[in-house]
Amino acid sequence: MKRYVTLALAMAGTAAIAHSDVKDPNVQKRMAGMKEMAAQMKTLGAMSKGQSTFDASAANAALDAISTQATSIPALFEVEANDPQSEALPRIWTDHDTFINHAARLNETAETLTGTVQQKSDLGRAMKQLGQSCRGCHETFKE
C-alpha cells in the first residue's frame, strides 16, 4: 500500500512542476485535469498514511471526483497537442482506443469504490485498485 501512496504523492508533485511555462491551452487543460486527479489521490494518500485525519465523507468525495474527472479524459486528449512540458506520449493518439479504455477503467474503478470507504482500513484496498489503474495507463502513455 505504501507504494501506491508514494505513487499518488509523486504524481501530485510532478503535476505541479509540469505546469510551469506551458504555452498550449489544450495541454494546459489536460495537465489541470490530471493535477485535479492527483490532488484527490494525495487526499486519499494523506489519510491512508495518517498525515491527515481519516474522514469517510472526504475519502468518498475524492473517489467520486476521480471518477468524474476520468470521464473527462477522452475530451481532454481529443486534440493532439504537445508542449515541451507535456509528459503525454504521442502513442495516446496513435493508440487512442486503448488510451480511452484505460480512462474508462479508471472511471469504473473509482465509481465502484465510491461509497465503500467507511474506515481507514478500507483505504488500502481503494488505493491499490486506483494505483493499478493509474499505473496501467501511465506505463504506456506517459513519459
Q: Distance between CA atoms of 79 and 26, rounded to whole angstroms?
A: 7
Mean pLDDT of 87-95: 97
Q: Distance between CA atoms of 34 and 36, rounded to whole angstroms?
A: 5
Mean pLDDT of 82-103: 96
The pLDDT of residue 7: 54
Mean pLDDT, the chain, as a whole number? 90
Q: Distance between CA atoms of 11 and 65, rounded to whole angstroms?
A: 16
Q: Which of 135, 134, 121 is nearest to 69 (CA)?
A: 134
CATH code for position 32: 1.20.120.10
The pLDDT of residue 3: 57
Total-model pTM: 0.83
The pLDDT of residue 17: 53
Statement: residue 5 has pLDDT above 90: no
Statement: residue 32 has pLDDT above 90: yes
Q: Distance between CA atoms of 127 and 109, rounded to whole angstroms?
A: 11
- Is the backbone of residue 115 left (phi > 0), alpha (psi -120 to 50) or beta? left
Mean pLDDT of 11-16: 51
Statement: residue 110 has pLDDT above 70: yes
Q: Which of 106, 67, 85, 112 is nearest to 22 (CA)?
A: 85
CB-CB contact of 56 with 118 (8 Å):
yes
Statement: residue 19 has pLDDT above 80: no
CA atoms within 13 A on the CB side of 57: 0
At 9, which helix (H) or strand (E)? helix 2-18
Q: Distance between CA atoms of 35 and 39, rounded to whole angstroms?
A: 6
Question: Please, which pLDDT band fits residue 2 given cuts at 50, 70 and 90?
Answer: low
Structurally, the chain folds into a number of domains equal to: 1
Mean pLDDT of 83-98: 96
Q: Phi and psi at residue 12, in whole multiples of 5°?
A: -65, -45
The pLDDT of residue 21: 84
Mean pLDDT of 17-42: 89
| Host domain of residue 39 | 2-141
